[in-house]
């Protein structure tokens, strides 16, 4: 399984491209803390997913945020406290004000090595659904020995800001002492950022599987939707299944054929998601039958559409093993014509681990 998170469809003549962005801002890097715990190593990271989402999803939450403290040293981190802080970075990334998000206090998750643990949180966790608007969540963990990982995670929906194009960052702060008598320290992660979608994008984070209605670019020449997706696999220990889609209004050229990029953010799911991609009209000198779908593993830019998306096998899955130059986690299941010279392409996407360096 390829380790990437965001993929996109490139709509072009002999190529409709499926782009996948690798590790899109998922792993933050903090400075060394104290004298012995993780000196010079990556100890803290923050994840937001999906990165593009609806401000008011039809169900569930808009996204989830999670922070991980990885005590990769032999020393014990004492009095460990993890805090997720939300900021409104729209147009002001250097000195952003607080953002307000809605959380369900019953869904605040605290884990060590992927297993739930008791922790004292502010706001306090509840046994039943209890919504609250917050700008930060803090949980105090037991001492964390060397070689162990502690995680704080929760689903959320933007409360302020909510305008299209607004951006909300989440940052993990880890505060702890050193078990051998070293000084206390607070270690910040690099923030991860959520963007609120307009009419060309959508997203949500649901407790189980669901679907996302198609979104189109402004010229209505390209669209992407997810008619069905199953829940994320349990080995990722996610608080919900994050899925996001978008279509760009900017035309690019791949292999001499011009078109638009449509994106899909999907975790590794228990089965496969059904993805519907419509193109109207088809690019010149192409047909529904010969249109090629390309995949890119680059998180940014449009110059690395190098992997062809193969036809699905008899089980509706990508062929195993994947041939060199072909996608290993997405396949074309069906092709059909549409009115006005258009084409519909149904794909099956397996999704990917949110981040193999981050799980559990």
Q: What is the mean pLDDT of the chain?
A: 86
Lowest-pLDDT choice from 5-9, 198-202, 266-270, 295-299: 5-9
Share above pLDDT 70 across residues of the chain, in percent, rounded to a whole number:
84
Mean pLDDT of 283-302: 79
Mean pLDDT of 348-352: 94
Judge whether residue 25 has pLDDT over 80.
Answer: no
Return d(Cα 135, Cα 143) in angstroms, integer. 26
On the 0-12 / 13-18 / 19+ scale of CB atoms within 10 A, 123 is middle
Mean pLDDT of 29-53: 70
Q: Which domains does the chain possess? A: 6-22+199-349 (no CATH), 44-196 (2.60.40.740)
Q: What is the pLDDT of residue 285?
A: 82
Q: Which helix (H) or strand (E) holds 157?
A: strand 148-160
Lowest-pLDDT choice from 74-78, 149-153, 199-203: 74-78
302 versus 304: which is more confidently predicted?
A: 304
Find the angle CA(92)-CA(28)-CA(33) to the nearest 5 degrees. 105
Return d(Cα 110, Cα 32) in angstroms, integer. 23
252 versus 210: which is more confidently predicted?
A: 210
pLDDT band at 359 (very low <50, low <70, confident <90, very high): low
22 versus 153: which is more confidently predicted?
A: 153
Q: What is the pLDDT of residue 14?
A: 32
**In what order do the strands lie in the sheet containing 210-216?**
210-216, 222-229, 273-279, 342-349, 330-338
Asked if omega into 271 is within 30° of 0 (cis), the reply is no
Sign for the CA dihedral angle at 97, 98, 100, 103 comes to positive
Three-class secondary structure of residue 48 per DSSP: strand
Residue 301 tokens, joined: 């830019």
Mean pLDDT of 343-358: 85
List pLDDT tens digits, range 227-277. 999 999 999 999 999 999 999 998 888 777 788 888 899 999 999 999 999
| C-alpha to C-alpha distances, 84 to 110, 122, 173, 329, nearest whole angstrom | 12, 11, 7, 32
Closest by Cα among 161, 154, 97 to 131: 154
List pLDDT tens digits, range 74-126. 889 999 999 999 999 998 878 899 999 999 999 999 999 999 999 999 999 99
Q: What is the pLDDT of residue 299?
A: 59
Other beta carbons within 10 angstroms of residue 277's beta carbon come to: 24
Q: What is the pLDDT of residue 179?
A: 65
Mean pLDDT of 36-44: 68
Q: What is the pLDDT of residue 305?
A: 84
pTM for the structure as a whole: 0.88
Q: What is the pLDDT of residue 17?
A: 40
Mean pLDDT of 133-141: 97
Mean pLDDT of 191-196: 96
Closest by Cα among 148, 153, 147, 123 to 135: 123
The most distant pair of C-alpha atoms in the chain lies apart, rounded to whole Å, by 73
Judge whether residue 3 has pLDDT over 80.
Answer: no
Return d(Cα 296, Cα 185) in angstroms, integer. 40
Share above pLDDT 90 across residues of the chain, in percent, rounded to a whole number:
66
């Amino acid at each position: 399984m390829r380790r990437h998170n965001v993929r996109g469809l490139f709509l072009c003549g002999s190529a409709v491209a499926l782009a996948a962005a690798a590790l899109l801002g998922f792993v933050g890097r903090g400075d060394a803390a104290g004298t012995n715990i993780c000196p010079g190593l990556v100890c803290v990271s923050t994840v937001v997913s999906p990165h593009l989402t609806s401000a008011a999803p039809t169900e569930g939450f808009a996204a989830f945020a999670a922070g991980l403290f990885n005590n990769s040293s032999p020393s014990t981190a004492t009095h460990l406290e993890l805090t997720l802080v939300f900021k409104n970075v729209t147009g002001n990334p250097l000195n952003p004000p607080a953002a307000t998000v809605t959380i369900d206090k019953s869904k605040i998750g605290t884990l060590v090595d992927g297993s739930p643990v008791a922790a004292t949180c502010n706001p306090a966790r509840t046994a039943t659904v209890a919504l609250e608007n917050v700008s930060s969540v803090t949980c105090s963990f037991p001492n964390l020995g060397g070689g162990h990982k502690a995680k704080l995670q929760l689903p959320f929906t933007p409360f302020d800001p909510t305008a299209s194009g607004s951006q909300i960052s989440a940052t993990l702060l880890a505060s702890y002492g050193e078990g051998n008598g070293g000084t206390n320290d607070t270690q910040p992660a690099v923030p991860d950022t959520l963007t609120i979608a307009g009419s060309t994008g959508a997203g949500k984070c649901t407790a189980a599987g669901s679907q996302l209605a198609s979104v189109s670019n402004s010229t209505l020449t390209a669209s992407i939707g997810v008619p069905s997706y199953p829940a994320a696999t349990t080995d990722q220990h996610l608080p919900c299944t994050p899925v996001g889609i978008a279509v760009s209004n900017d035309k690019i050229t791949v292999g001499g054929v011009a078109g638009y990029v449509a994106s899909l953010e999907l975790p590794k799911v228990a089965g496969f998601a059904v993805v519907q991609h419509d193109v109207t009209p088809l690019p010149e000198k192409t047909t529904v039958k010969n249109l090629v779908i390309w995949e890119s593993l680059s998180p940014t830019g449009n110059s690395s559409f190098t992997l062809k998306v193969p036809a699905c096998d008899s089980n509706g899955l990508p062929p195993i093993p994947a041939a060199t130059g072909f996608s290993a986690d997405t396949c074309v299941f069906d092709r059909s014509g549409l009115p006005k010279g258009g084409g519909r392409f149904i794909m099956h996407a397996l999704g990917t681990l949110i981040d193999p360096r981050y799980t559990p």
